Amino acid sequence: MANNPFVWNDASGIWMHVKTIFHATAGATVIHTTYTVERPMNIGYFGMIQAGAISGGSYDHQYYYIPKTKPISGYDFTGPQLLDTAPASTVNFDSAHSSDPSNPPDREVIYFKKNADDNYDLGFAFGYSPYLAGDPATRSASCITHGNNCWEIYTSKKSYPTMIGNLGVVSSATYEGYAYRQWIDPKQYDINKSAYWNNVNGHDLVYVDYHKSVTNDTTALPSSLVGENIRVVDSQNVTTSQTTIPSDGLKLSTTGGNTYGYIVLELTPQDITLQSTACPSQSGYCNNSQPDISVNSPVATTTYHYSVDQNQTPDKTTVEAGTSDADGSFAIPPLLPTVHGMFMLLLKVLMVIFLPTMQLIR
């Protein structure tokens, strides 16, 4: 029995380690999970997240939206589908029902609506972030190749996303990925647009979906995202000409007159170049006469103030935008004191040594 890898009470111990970290903010939770297989086991699938049927409460209807899918069982989930009751049979988004099997479905939004309202009143978004096991190519190689099921709505109306597919017996491996679930406010837009964002793996991710044609449509984003660099992670029929987020918002357009599309953006802080505008004195040292540093970026040039002891050299590499105190001052550690500074230091040392003796003599 001791050599049987499928006996739970085997004395050799643990089968798998699972580490899950939840990062919770207002209305949103990011899940970072690592599965480590310690000994042979049969893996049916890893989901990381699921979403059971949600009670509609005071809302009259629920609509399900799943991008990157093809019509199935009378539904076309690329447009929000009325789903007040569970489907008659399981809806399985396999390779035949994914718009691109190499980029399988990875998120879902459930919208709640009252009959009297023109827009959706509330939304619940959840899915996988495009990192590690959640990377589209990695998921395709898993959930399409193994089990051919990347997303599923069961007859209970519960949604089962698949991170890792039916791998069979695995002896030793580690699987790691990120997922999220969050409440969103679709009332900010008309019924043919939605947008939400979250922070995952140190990156800000922005999701925008359209069910209409737009040209330079503006989406306001939090001020903390202004100036960040834009990288398009995934898109269909939506483009942007911007490379950074300006203060007046993200501008997007649908292509070729399409009335459906989406875009997923990864935002990262800019690389900022610091240049001293007041400190190239003849001696190579810096004083307090005009302590300014200009921060050059593609968005704007901002001047920060720092304080430094007179006749000491600031270490410019330690000055970073956004690290100033409330009064705008930077504390910059000195590198090398001047002769005057060394003399003052020596004087202080001598005072510490001789002052007690002078007091005794008195």
Q: What is the pLDDT of residues 41-54, one digit of tens each?
A: 888 888 889 999 99
pTM of the model: 0.73
More confident residue, 347 or 76: 76
Q: Model confidence at 70, in pLDDT bands (50, 70, 90)?
A: very high
| Domain segments of the chain as ranges | 16-201, 273-339
Order of strands, sheet of 292-296, starting from the edge strand that comes earlier in the sequence: 273-276, 292-296, 301-305
**Cβ count within 10 A of residue 351:** 11
The neighbouring-strand residues paired with 238 are 254
Residue 15 contacts residue 38 (beta carbons within 8 Å): yes
Nearest to 140 by CA among 152, 148, 129: 148
Rounded CA separation 252/265 (Å): 11
Q: Model confidence at 346, in pLDDT bands (50, 70, 90)?
A: low
Residue 199 contacts residue 24 (beta carbons within 8 Å): no
Residue that is written with structure tokens 């009143």 in the block: 121
Task: Classify the C-alpha dihedral 270-261-32-35 as positive or negative.
Answer: negative
% helix / strand / coil in the chain, to the nearest 5?
A: 10, 40, 50
Report the pLDDT averaged over residues 129-147: 86
Residue that is written with structure tokens 């939770």 in the block: 29
- Range in 92-96, 331-335, 340-344 the model is least confident about: 331-335
Confidence (pLDDT) at 312? 41
Confidence (pLDDT) at 359? 43
